[in-house]
Chains A and B, each alone.
Chain A
Amino acid sequence: MDFSLSKEHEMARRLFQEFAQNEVKPLAQEVDETEKFPRETVDKMAKLGFLGIPVSKEYEGQGCDPLTYVMCVEELSKVCGTTGVIVSAHTSLCVDPIQTYGTPEQKAKYLPDLATGRKLGAFGLTEPGAGTDAQGQQTKAVLDGDEWVLNGSKCFITNGKEADVYIIIAVTGTVEKRGKMMKEISAFIVEKGTPGFTFGTKEKKMGIRGSSTYELIFTDCRIPKENLLGQKGKGFGIAMHTLDGGRIGIAAQALGIAEGALETTIEYVKERKQFGRAIGAFQNTQFQLADMATKVEAAKALVYKAAMKKAEYQTNPKVSYSVEAAMAKLYAAEVAMEVTTKAVQLHGGYGYIREYDVERMMRDAKITEIYEGTSEVQRMVISGSLLK
């Protein structure tokens, strides 16, 4: 068992670190304060291939493994949680399902634009009445001739108004399963600009405030028949499998936020003086930092393990990474919340002030315990695998 990274991965980390420090960090506070989507940063990332890291070169991607992608989200999130989730939602929730379930025509049509960042992706599963309970879907898709007609709405959609290509989950009928009538769920690819596809209100959020979170509204929205993603009726499985991958991305975001808060705090406690000494000289500070660092390291091991398990799946589709992804997200998200909270505490009054990064990091951390499956859902996934 080898815990050391390859030279390639080390160099990739250096690339992501340099980019994050030079291009992302200087804007992080402004992005949060003004709730402005960092379009210029997204364009720069697009140019460097950051939006197609795990996409094969055949479709103009970078052809890298899931671990490289995870390190990208991690390093971006160290300095800006917003930028981290933009890449994660695009890659894990839109690019990945097209790469996994798309027909050759769908891949050829969408992947090159998405992998090079000419287009941005998003994913719509959540509805006002269907978050954790994904079976509660109300959005319907009805086949009418050569077109599917979508009606309904999706809420809390990351990259909402900024995306160009959306994976939308909708009900396409009912099926009998074990004597019970269940909703038949399918997945679709919907493009921005399709008549009948509009946006609702922008959500005002506690954290990741620069990310574009919108309601998507479908009113007699007609999309071509061939935009069905995967088989009809397989949408629930596609959504769940997509979220398994998405959770690794969010786990990486949580890990990055925790690492960013830890690094910032280490610097701060060396500088800040109380009672004539740097506060880092006090044992309470030292013990807090030790606990924070240990948990961050444990989170990193889980997140990287999940990424490597996903890589294994790519060569052997019988391998499941669902539990590893759930554990990584559950733990990394809770560590992010704990570490950022402690970071604010160690900063004292300054930690509560907006000029200090840890204040933003604590707000950004909270969502990682909620989206792409709450911590409670992760516990359900993990325990379900233990008790089956």
Chain B
Amino acid sequence: MKVVVCIKQVPDTKGGVKFNPDGTLDRGAMLTIMNPDDKAGLEAALRLKDQYGAEVTVVTMGLPKAEEVLREALAMGADKGILVTDRVLGGADTWATSQTLAGAIRNLEYDLIITGRQAIDGDTAQVGPQISEHLGIPVISYAQNIKIDGDSVIVERQYDDRYHVLKAKMPCLITALSELNEPRYMTPGGIFDAYQAEITVWGRADLVDVDDSNLGLKGSPTQIARASDKVRKGAGEKVTLEPDEAVNYIVDKLKTKHVI
């Protein structure tokens, strides 16, 4: 069984966020982590490795610095790391990113592709499903539980108040929620081995069946009008009321703001 996991290096939200003049993120200048949903996806893949001996390949698209996140994945137990990096791929939105990743994955054999539900820097939840569309395979998003059943996967797809149990034939793509599992720690020896391991680096020329018009900033239909750091909220309003009155007060407020 072969599993491909797409991971992304994202800004650590505990550090500051910095922007380029064109409104895109200045990724080189920020502290970074592995995107939490992707990490859960990787953990799910590693559990399939523990249970079924699956081979786990991690793929990321990003700056050369994104190699770090692949090393981290290797230190957790992934088998191979592929970095897709090229100047012409910079500034990609979800469309161009999914085209790039699909172009890279076309080089690989796979039974299952796992991506995170969404990245904490963009929060779009589009890349995973788009990859499946480009590759012409089924997608099950928002997975909170994954089981293998012969040549199929059985996945619990999470909703706000319930979950659906879905079955799909492999190959297919699953997007994982960070609630899916508790990702394992790296091991000290695993870290040193990860830095000895060879990372495969692919550029534009290695992408299969992708048109230039679908890549990078030029291939991105999304236009960023303006980007700014999160504006701090005010101190809020403090009132001291009896519980019954407090409930009515809050309900009135929410009604006024059309929340309920």
A50 to B195, CA, bound (A): 19
With the chains together, A15 CA to B71 CA distance in Å? 13
Q: Complex Cα distance A62/B188, Å?
A: 6
Any A CB within 8 A of the CB of B25: no
- Decide: A57 and B189 in contact? CB cutoff 8 A: yes
Q: Which residues of A contact B71 (CB under 8 A)?
A: 7, 11
Give the CA-CA distance A12 to B185 in the complex, in Å.
11
Q: Is the CB of B192 within 8 A of A8?
A: yes
Majority-rule SS of B interface residues:
helix
CB of A48 closer than 8 Å to a CB of B: yes
Residues of A within 8 A of B (CB): 6-8, 11-12, 15, 18-19, 48-50, 53, 57, 61-64, 68, 72
In the complex the two chains form, what is the Cα distance from A18 to B187 in whole Å? 12
Q: Out of A8, A19, A61, A72, which one reaches B185, CB within 8 Å?
A: A19
- Let me know if B187 and A62 touch, CB within 8 A: yes
Q: How far is the CB of A15 from chain B (nearest CB, A)?
A: 5
Q: Which residues of A contact B86 (CB under 8 A)?
A: none
Quick one: CB contact mask for B57-74 with A, threshold 8 Å, 1 for yes?
000000000001001100
B191 touches A (CB below 8 Å): yes
Interface string of B17-57 (1 = CB under 8 A from A): 00000000000000000000000000000000000000000
Q: Does B186 contact A (CB under 8 A)?
A: yes
Given contacts A7-B68, A11-B72, contact A53 B188 (CB under 8 A): yes
B112 — which chain A residues lie within 8 A by C-beta? Answer: none
Total contacting residues, chain B, CB less than 8 A: 13
Residues of chain A lying within 8 A (CB to CB) of residue B75: 11, 15
Cβ B191 vs Cβ A8 within 8 A: yes
Within 8 A of A (CB), among B191-235: 191-192, 194-195
21 A-B contacts (beta carbon < 8 Å): A7-B195, A11-B72, A11-B75, A11-B186, A11-B195, A12-B188, A15-B75, A15-B186, A15-B188, A19-B185, A48-B185, A48-B187, A49-B187, A49-B189, A53-B189, A57-B189, A62-B187, A63-B192, A64-B189, A68-B188, A72-B188
Chain B residues near A15: list those with CB within 8 A: 75, 185-188, 191
B66 CB, nearest partner CB in chain A, Å: 13
A8-B195, A18-B185, A62-B189 given; 6 more Cβ-contact pairs under 8 Å: A15-B188, A49-B187, A50-B188, A53-B188, A62-B188, A64-B188
- Which residue of chain A is the closest to B76 with respect to CB atoms? A15
Q: In whole Å, how far is B233's beta carbon from the nearest beta carbon of chain A?
A: 20
List, in ascending order, chain A residues with CB within 8 A of B195's CB: 6-8, 11
CB-CB under 8 A from B191, the residues of chain A are 8, 11-12, 15
